């Protein structure tokens, strides 16, 4: 049985993951409007990945006999000054999510909930990858500045990101 303290915290994280999905969808729309189809694709894939993270929390809460409590999702930002600014915002968001996951891990350890701790370890590892990937893209875009040719090449490269497989979706 899931302790109420863990259940409440996991429900908050479920909402945070849903917000992440929503934020990346807003970024996809921004890139579409700017005619950066590759960056829009990258963000659409990220949207699906964040939704899958939300479903991992949903399923875990249910499997442990808890109650999922869906909450209102805040409106995300939807305008940025440049592609680099959008990816910088994504990196800052991933750093915030890392802090949330670390807080959950601290809670699971303090509550001696070893199953929750084991579940969260996947997210701890995932956040290292998420931060590094988005930071790499951000730095490339910042170096590119307004150089149209470089932006075109980066857009094409980011457009090659494949959709997550069903096994990665966690649903």
Structure confidence by residue, pLDDT tens digits, 59-101: 999 999 999 999 999 999 999 999 999 999 999 999 999 999 9
What is the pLDDT averaged over residues 125-141? 97
Distance CA 18, CA 133 (A): 20
Mean pLDDT of the region 112-129:
98
In angstroms, the CA 154 to CA 108 distance is 40
Helix, strand, coil percentages (3-state) for the chain, rounded to 5, are: 75, 0, 25
Residue 146: band (very low, low, confident or very high) from pLDDT cuts 50, 70, 90: confident
Task: Say if CB 13 and CB 57 are below 8 A apart.
Answer: yes
Average pLDDT over the chain reads: 95
Query: Model confidence over 156-170: pLDDT tens digits?
Result: 999 999 987 654 444
- pLDDT at 166 (0 to 100): 52
What's the rounded Cα separation, in Å, for the pair 121 and 29?
32
Q: Crossing angle for the helix pair 83-110 and 4-33, nearest 10 degrees?
A: 170
Structural domain boundaries of the chain? 4-68+79-169
DSSP of 63-96, one letter per residue?
A: HTT------PPPPPP---SSHHHHHHHHHHHHHH
What is the 3-class SS of 31-43, one letter each residue?
HHHCCCHHHHHHH
Secondary structure (3-state) at 117: helix
* pLDDT for position 91: 98
Instruction: State yes or no: pLDDT of 171 exceeds 60.
Output: no
- Provide the CATH number for the domain formed by 4-68+79-169 in this structure: 1.20.1260.10
**Phi, psi angle pair for 69, to nearest 5°:** -125, 100
Provide the pLDDT for residue 164: 74
- Answer whether 116's CB lies under 8 Å from 106's CB: no
Task: Grade residue 102 by pLDDT with cuts at 50, 70 and 90.
Answer: very high
The answer to whether residues 41 and 47 touch, using CB atoms and an 8 Å cutoff, is: no
* pLDDT for residue 163: 87
The per-residue pLDDT for range 18-56, each reduced to its tens digit, is 999 999 999 999 999 999 999 999 999 999 999 999 999
Q: Residue 165: what pLDDT?
A: 62
pTM of the model: 0.92
The separation between CA 120 and the C-alpha centre of its own chain, rounded to angstroms, equals 15
């Amino acid at each position: 049985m899931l302790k109420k303290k863990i259940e409440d915290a996991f429900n908050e994280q479920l909402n945070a993951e849903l917000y992440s999905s929503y934020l990346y969808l807003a970024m996809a729309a921004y890139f579409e409007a700017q005619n950066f189809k590759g960056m829009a694709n990258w963000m659409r894939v990220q949207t699906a990945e964040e939704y899958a993270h939300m479903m991992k929390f949903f399923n875990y809460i249910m499997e442990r006999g808890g109650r999922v409590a869906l909450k209102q999702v805040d409106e995300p930002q939807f305008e940025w000054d440049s592609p680099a600014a959008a990816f910088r915002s994504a990196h800052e968001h991933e750093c915030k999510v890392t802090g949330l996951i670390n807080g959950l891990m601290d809670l699971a350890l303090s509550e001696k909930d070893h199953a929750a701790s084991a579940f969260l370890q996947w997210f701890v590892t995932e956040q290292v990858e998420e931060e590094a990937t988005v930071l790499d893209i951000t730095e490339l875009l910042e170096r590119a500045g307004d150089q149209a040719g470089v932006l075109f090449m980066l857009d094409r490269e980011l457009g090659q990101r494949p959709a997550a497989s069903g096994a990665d979706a966690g649903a």
